[in-house]
Amino acid sequence: MLPITVCMIAKNEDIHIEECLKRLRPCKFEIVVVDTGSVDRTVEIAKKYTDKVFHFDWCNDFSAARNFSASQASNDWILNIDCDEYLENINLADLEDTLSNNLTSVGMIIRNNPYIIQGVRSVMTERIGRLFNRRYCHYEGMIHEQVTTLDGKEPASFPLPLTFYHEGYVSESDKRMRATRNLEMLLRDLESKGPNSYIYFQLGQNYISLNDLEKAVYYYKLGIDLDTDSNSFFVQSMTESYGYCLIELAKYDLALSLEEKYDLFSNHADFVYLMGMIYMKKKMWEKALNEFQKATTLSSYSRKGVNSYRAYYNIGSIYEILGDIEKAREYYQKCGDHNNAARRLEEL
């Protein structure tokens, strides 16, 4: 057994928790489940997989619950996951090798998040800090909690050979209920900590869940304007989300201001693809073509297709607009089984 304890906090998760725990079982990790007040079968199911099931009185503080779960572990290495995250891939030998060299750092899992864009199911991949040694690190933040060192500094990070699939489905009514709850907690956290780019990012994400893009843009811009580390995943995500919100709001001139960030993010296909979209909306066809072409040469990406079929589809669309039907066909054919491209090929 690796000296790692998987810690989870749960409330009314009987839809997800069994699949989550079932996939972890072959790894033989110690598992701690902390329930915060379930009225469904969550506790009953958890006890089938571990005898370390505890109750925690909910106090509107996710970090408090996370840190309590870590305190119940037998091991110092803590791997935090959510009930709707299902293990997809793991290399136990490589995982063991990473532990001794990274005592004060945070291990980053890969998480695949499904989403729908233009009616097509796609996947966004992200790195999230989830593994840490409790002798050196803990959680801070009432909501959208982050791992920090015990003296409050942001720790270094290292990649983990661990991939999870984020099921993450909730009904629209549940989504709005969670977003309303989260909003109250985030605003309290902001009042307590003062200007904070990560809280601004999460406020923006929350307002997207509430379909209030104007408010999302407001908070994303506050976060972007702070002095932040452009290498942080959330900073890249915040910048790209800001751009897409501006596109949705048809504020294309304001979106063009992201050219100022180009040197920071131009090695990432998602940002280059976004710039292509902005140029396309502004009918700056040559610049758009250049960005989509560049996106297809980049290996670093989060959203599936931005460096392949989605970029090729937009190139084809531009050539079709410009009247070059042969070029349009050429790029639609590069899209493989992408439905929109197949439809355009039929119509051409």
Q: 201-234 pLDDT, tens per residue?
A: 999 999 988 889 999 999 999 999 997 777 777 8
Name the pairing type of β-strands 30-35 and 53-55: parallel
Percent of the chain's residues with pLDDT above 90:
71
Which residue is it, tokens 């054919």? Answer: 333
- Please, which residues have CB within 8 angstroms of residue 10's CB and are 6 or more apart in sequence? 17, 33, 34, 35, 36, 38, 42, 46, 83
Q: 136-178 pLDDT, tens per residue?
A: 999 998 888 889 999 888 889 999 999 999 987 666 677 777 7
Amino acid (1-letter code) at residue 34 = V
Q: Which of 24-33, 40-49, 187-196, 215-224 has the lowest mean pLDDT?
A: 187-196
Whether the per-residue pLDDT at 62 is higher than 60: the answer is yes
Q: What is the CA radius of gyration of the chain?
A: 22
Report pLDDT for 116: 62
Residue 330 pLDDT class (50, 70, 90 cuts) = very high
Percent of the chain's residues with pLDDT above 70:
97
Report pLDDT for 211: 87
Q: How many CB atoms lie within 10 A of CB 218?
A: 16
8 A C-beta contact, residue 345 and residue 333: yes
Whether the per-residue pLDDT at 326 is higher than 80: the answer is yes
Report pLDDT for 123: 80
CA dist 321 and 305 (Å) reads 22
Q: 272-290 pLDDT, tens per residue?
A: 999 999 999 999 999 999 9
Q: For residue 291, which of 250, 253, 242, 258 has the smallest C-alpha distance?
A: 258
Q: 104-124 pLDDT, tens per residue?
A: 999 999 999 887 655 566 788
